[in-house]
């Protein structure tokens, strides 16, 4: 089941440095939301607050609330490890475990959860690889190292690993920035399919990509270097790219800065 994300008054810090300030937004289930904005405006930081990864950085601290449906991820007694299972993440550089086989890479997250019988494990691995549009390319080499795949295949392997534990939300931080155009289109197609099952948030540098894959787009910006990043506006993607409400958004999408 995909879940709704409801963020209110969220700020994030690295030690005393405030990286993002007072962000509020909602993300509907079964939708894709793109985060755009110039480098350093806090897109990655904000994304990592949505699954409690930010606090893993020394000095990393958060104020505010993130509700997943009705549960505050920062509420007392919430287990951050369970949060990271519910809200999965795919990173910029494909990062399969290099010494593990393709099969083991997908099974890795499941084994941590424990309690899967061998046949169940193979079924879930197959289902996840099919879900990531990778099965046909790897079904004859499941026990070869994941590192032998192309960059685009490795990224789909990481997506298979992320969806194997059946999260509710998938966060992707510039998942195509290390990929060639063909592999990028394969991931974009996949994102369109994955939103049937998950709530998806993607950070992208590529404006065309945001326009192609997302339903809603959030524009972030910095008032000045050293200032925290802020959410400037969030709206339907068509609206952001045709008739945004804020001049800074218009300037950014038309390539005047960033």
Ligand X SMILES: Nc1ncnc2c1ncn2[C@@H]1O[C@H](COP(=O)(O)OP(=O)(O)O)[C@@H](O)[C@H]1O
Enumerate residues 6+ apart whose C-beta is below 8 A from 191.
32, 172, 200, 202, 213
User: Interacting stretch for ligand X, rule CB under 6 A, among 13-21, 61-69, 111-119, 185-193?
Assistant: 13-21
Nearer CB in complex with ligand X: 182/225:
225
Q: Among 5, 10, 19, 170, which residue sits at the site for ligand X (rule: CB under 6 A)?
A: 19
Nearer CB in complex with ligand X: 174/188:
174
Q: Which helix (H) or strand (E) holds 68?
A: strand 60-68
Beta bridge partners of 233: 219
Q: Among 42, 109, 131, 175, which residue sits at the site for ligand X (rule: CB under 6 A)?
A: 42
Please tell me whether residue 43 binds ligand X under the rule CB under 6 A: yes
Please tell me whether residue 40 binds ligand X under the rule CB under 6 A: yes
- We find the least distance from the C-beta atom of residue 203 to ligand X, in angstroms, to be 6
Please tell me whether residue 44 binds ligand X under the rule CB under 6 A: yes
The number of beta carbons lying within 10 Å of the beta carbon of residue 40 is: 14
Q: Among 39, 76, 81, 224, which residue sits at the site for ligand X (rule: CB under 6 A)?
A: 39
Q: What would the two tokens of residue 226 be?
A: 């050293």
Determine contact, residues 83/138, Cβ cutoff 8 Å: no
Angle value at C-alpha 230, between 47 and 246, nearest 5 degrees: 120
Determine phi and psi for 128, rounding to 5 degrees.
-70, -40
Please tell me whether residue 44 binds Mg ion under the rule CB under 5 A: yes
User: Interacting stretch for Mg ion, rule CB under 5 A, among 42-50, 131-139, 224-232, 238-246?
Assistant: 42-50
- We find the least distance from the C-beta atom of residue 57 to ligand X, in angstroms, to be 5
Nearer CB in complex with ligand X: 17/256:
17
* CA gap 161, 245 in Å, rounded: 39
Q: What is the largest CA-CA distance in the chain?
A: 56
* CA gap 50, 80 in Å, rounded: 11
Q: Which of residues 61-80 bind ligand X (CB under 6 A)?
A: none
Determine contact, residues 244/253, Cβ cutoff 8 Å: yes
Q: Among 57, 242, 245, 254, which residue sits at the site for ligand X (rule: CB under 6 A)?
A: 57
Sites of contact with Mg ion (CB under 5 A)? 44
Sites of contact with ligand X (CB under 6 A)? 14, 17, 19, 39-45, 57
């Amino acid at each position: 089941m995909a879940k709704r994300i409801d963020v209110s008054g969220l700020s994030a810090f690295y030690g005393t440095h405030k990286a993002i300030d007072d962000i509020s937004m909602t993300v509907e289930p079964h939708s894709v939301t793109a985060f755009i904005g110039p480098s350093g405006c806090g897109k990655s930081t904000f994304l990592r607050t949505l699954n409690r990864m930010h606090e893993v950085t020394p000095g990393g601290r958060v104020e505010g609330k993130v509700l997943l449906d009705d549960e505050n991820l920062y509420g007392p007694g919430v287990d951050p490890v369970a949060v990271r299972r519910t809200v999965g993440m795919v990173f910029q550089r494909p990062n399969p475990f290099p010494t593990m086989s393709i099969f083991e890479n997908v099974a890795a997250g499941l084994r941590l959860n424990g309690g899967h019988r061998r046949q169940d494990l193979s079924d879930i691995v197959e289902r996840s690889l099919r879900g990531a549009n990778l099965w046909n390319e790897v079904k004859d080499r499941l026990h070869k190292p994941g590192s032998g795949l192309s960059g685009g295949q490795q990224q789909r392997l990481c997506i298979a690993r992320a969806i194997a534990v059946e999260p509710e939300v998938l966060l992707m931080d510039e998942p195509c920035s290390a990929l060639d155009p063909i592999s990028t289109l394969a991931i974009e197609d996949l994102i369109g399919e994955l939103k049937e099952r998950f709530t998806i948030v993607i950070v992208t540098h590529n404006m065309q990509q945001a326009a192609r894959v997302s339903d809603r787009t959030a524009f972030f910006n910095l008032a000045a270097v050293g200032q925290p990043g802020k959410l400037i506006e969030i709206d339907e993607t068509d609206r952001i790219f045709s008739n945004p409400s804020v001049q800074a958004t218009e300037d950014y999408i038309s390539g005047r800065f960033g």
